[in-house]
Structure 1
Amino acid sequence: MSTPPASVAVIGGSGFYEFLDDATQVPVETPYGAPSADIAVGRVGGVSVAFLPRHGQGHAYPPHLINYRANLWALRSLGVRQVLAPCAVGGLLPSVAPGDVVVPDQLVDRTSGRIQTYVQTGAVHAPFADPYCDRLATALAAADPGVKRGGAMVVIEGPRFSTRAESQSYAAAGWSLVNMTGHPEAVLAREMRMCYSAIALVTDMDAGVESGEGVGQAEVFEMFAANIERLKGLLATVLADLPSPDGCACSSWADELELTYTIP
């Protein structure tokens, strides 16, 4: 049986383990090992869509042990050129609140020890000043007037939550969201020449926002579960009318370069 192609992918975050009805489950082998799970391929609004649960089925992989390289390579091997990536985040500034859906426009890496590139030899330097695709962000904001656009998401190593001092330092820097999985996912998508946008659901206000308060796993998972159908509805609306990725800088950055890794 031939492998069904997909032009768009959704990577599901914590608690977001299923998305497509009547999907074909596609096992994919990669040069970087196994992805988090088999990839489900189905159709939404006439568009062929791939779905991959970031943490695997049943949340098998914590954020620091996700095989991000295998995940993005596997999606690209099915023909994916655009990625929508829901994720759970903590809020750091009063401009966001629990229940908000935010499409950030900046990323700050505070992880450690994660392999964050396909480049193993030679001179290949992907531009990353703007880590997210502006076209996808515009489409997401247009699909739901309640979506907030902009802000910086700082990505921490995890799996522990931040100390109060860490949260306060992130807020003081002007960063509005904190997350554990947004990096290296975004930069690997850029190296694979795919458009990528995070869709951040604010599940809590992080530890440093109010003295005496902190974040716990239960409230994060509860808030994400309470908003799953809302996220699925947003995704279905966007997927039915996505702009073409042709000519987007997310891909064209490598047009004149000799890449030293393989894009499937």
Structure 2
Amino acid sequence: MQTRIGIIGGSGLYQLDSLENPEWLSVTSPWGVPSDQILTGVLQGVAMAFLPRHGRGHVHAPSDVPYRANIDALKRLGVTDVISVSACGSFREDLAPGDFLIVDQFIDRTVGRDASFFGSGCVAHVSLAHPTCPRLSAACADAARAAGVTVHEGGTYLAMEGPQFSTLAESRLYREVWGCDVIGMTNMPEAKLAREAELCYASVAMVTDYDCWHPDHAEVDVAQVIATLGANAAHARALVAGLPARLGADRAPCPHGCDRALEHAIMTAPDRRDPDLVARLDAVAGRVL
């Protein structure tokens, strides 16, 4: 199998001068229209695919991102490894704006988002005990460190619904009681869907602010986030540019089983499965269906 790296992120990440044969592709998905076209190309001999999570021009709010269509579209393109790059607030003094955190756990506080490809007519239960891929996460940490970024490995991402930022009471709860490390609005249900699609998934949280808990810093606002994002964009591009050399063009089976997550997950008997739902699952679960 050949490696194909998928990057889900925002402005600046798909502006790679060294991307060979760049082409924006429209991908049709039975789960709806993806956030945008997907930029494909080759970087250092490895196939790449870049998907702007909010669409070019930031047209999708976090609650309205078509997460299922995005993951399905990447799977249809042959993506094997998905790296999420997103802006986050920090709950830790030592996790400062400009730092990157390689997330390894999530607490999902989102509501009303379509969080699974499966349902009535084809029921499946995948394990999310370890929702990110250690192999892929280690490659991201190494690439970020080589790019000169201050990197923290391992931490819990609180996924909130948004689009508003936290209240002070919520910020204190997530930090002091629940022990979360960062807060964001987009990694759920993205990580869940990637696991259902048998894709290795890593989350790179780019810290932009201290949310609103820090007594020595003003509460987060959009201007602050945008200013820090601009500084982070070059580091994010350097991280992405360092991934092909670390992952290689030839893809071995994931040692942690991410690419076999559906092996024993589907519960519905073959003769009781909804044929329409099974047809929609052709890319996500075709290997086991």
Name the CA distance, whole Å, in 2 between partners of 1:55 and 1:258: 31
CA apart distance, 1:263 = 4.1
Tell me, yes or no, if the aligned pair for 2:5 and 2:79 is still in contact at 8 Å: yes
Counterpart of 1:219?
A: 224
Higher mean displacement: 237-246 or 145-154? 237-246
Tell me, yes or no, if the aligned pair for 1:17 and 1:56 is still in contact at 8 Å: no
Out of 5, 8, 15, the position equivalent to 1:19 is 15
The AA in structure 1 aligned to 2:175 is: A
1:256 to 1:111, Cα distance in 2 relative to 1, 3 A: closer
Out of 7, 20, 23, the position equivalent to 2:4 is 7
The AA in structure 1 aligned to 2:154 is: G
Counterpart of 1:255?
A: 263
Name the CA distance, whole Å, in 2 between partners of 1:140 and 1:63: 24
Counterpart of 2:287?
A: none
Counterpart of 1:171?
A: 175
Name the CA distance, whole Å, in 1 between partners of 2:224 and 2:206: 13
- Secondary structure at 1:130's aligned position in 2? coil
Name the CA distance, whole Å, in 2 between partners of 1:28 and 1:6: 19
Return the TM-score normalized by structure 2.
0.85
1:245 to 1:126, Cα distance in 2 relative to 1, 3 A: farther
The gaps in structure 1 that reach 5 residues or longer are none
Higher mean displacement: 145-154 or 240-249? 240-249
The AA in structure 2 aligned to 1:246 is: P
Larger radius of gyration: 2
Alignment deviations for residues 102-136 of structure 1 (CA, whole Å, 9 cap, x no partner): 10111110111111000122331010011111111
The AA in structure 1 aligned to 2:9 is: G
Counterpart of 1:153?
A: 157
The AA in structure 2 aligned to 1:33 is: G
Question: Residues 51-62 of structure 1: matches in 2 within 5 Å?
Answer: 51-62=50-61
Question: Residues 19-98 of structure 1: matches in 2 within 5 Å?
Answer: 19-20=15-16, 21=19, 22-98=21-97
The AA in structure 1 aligned to 2:210 is: M
Tell me, yes or no, if the aligned pair for 1:106 and 1:153 is still in contact at 8 Å: yes
Name the CA distance, whole Å, in 2 between partners of 1:95 and 1:245: 36
1:29 to 1:163, Cα distance in 2 relative to 1, 3 A: same
Tell me, yes or no, if the aligned pair for 2:106 and 2:159 is still in contact at 8 Å: yes
1:212 to 1:202, Cα distance in 2 relative to 1, 3 A: closer
Higher mean displacement: 143-152 or 199-208? 143-152
CA apart distance, 1:212 = 7.2
Name the CA distance, whole Å, in 1 between partners of 2:105 and 2:153: 11
CA apart distance, 1:17 = 5.8
Alignment deviations for residues 17-75 of structure 1 (CA, whole Å, 9 cap, x no partner): 63344411110111111001111100111100000000001001011110000000000
CA apart distance, 1:257 = 4.3
Name the CA distance, whole Å, in 2 between partners of 1:87 and 1:245: 27
Counterpart of 1:134?
A: 134
1:167 to 1:263, Cα distance in 2 relative to 1, 3 A: farther
Return the TM-score normalized by structure 1.
0.92
Tell me, yes or no, if the aligned pair for 2:210 and 2:217 is still in contact at 8 Å: no
Tell me, yes or no, if the aligned pair for 1:7 and 1:47 is still in contact at 8 Å: yes
Tell me, yes or no, if the aligned pair for 1:73 and 1:263 is still in contact at 8 Å: no
CA apart distance, 1:80 = 0.6
Name the CA distance, whole Å, in 2 between partners of 1:211 and 1:241: 39
- Secondary structure at 1:18's aligned position in 2? coil
Name the CA distance, whole Å, in 1 between partners of 2:182 and 2:41: 32
Tell me, yes or no, if the aligned pair for 1:104 and 1:149 is still in contact at 8 Å: yes
Tell me, yes or no, if the aligned pair for 1:140 and 1:147 is still in contact at 8 Å: no
The AA in structure 2 aligned to 1:129 is: A
Counterpart of 2:253?
A: 246
Name the CA distance, whole Å, in 1 between partners of 2:14 and 2:66: 19
- Secondary structure at 1:240's aligned position in 2? helix
Tell me, yes or no, if the aligned pair for 2:144 and 2:235 is still in contact at 8 Å: no
CA apart distance, 1:253 = 2.3
Name the CA distance, whole Å, in 2 between partners of 1:203 and 1:256: 40
Name the CA distance, whole Å, in 2 between partners of 1:258 and 1:252: 12
